[in-house]
Amino acid sequence: MKYEIKYKPSYSMLVVNLEPNEKIVAESGALTYMDPNIEVHTRKRETSLLGTLGLAIFGRQSSG
């Protein structure tokens, strides 16, 4: 895996180059673009009502 952090310090973007069969875990909504050869698997995360309200009220990203 090779990576590069672009546009530091504000609006930083991590660019990752994966080798075949390498995996990466990313935050929902954090993907900007990808190569069409990448296979994406998603799963629904269980969240509490208070956690969801905290995200909506305080505008923070989830930490899961």
Q: How far apart are CA 58 and CA 55, in angstroms?
A: 6
pLDDT of residue 31: 72
pTM for the model stands at 0.52
pLDDT of residue 56: 56
pLDDT of residue 44: 66
Give the residue with greater pLDDT, 36 vs 3.
3
pLDDT of residue 27: 75
Every domain of the chain and the residues it spans: 2-58
pLDDT digits (tens, 9 = 90+) for 13-61: 888 888 988 888 877 777 777 778 878 777 766 555 556 666 555 555 5
DSSP 11: T
Phi and psi at residue 56, to the nearest 5°: -70, -40
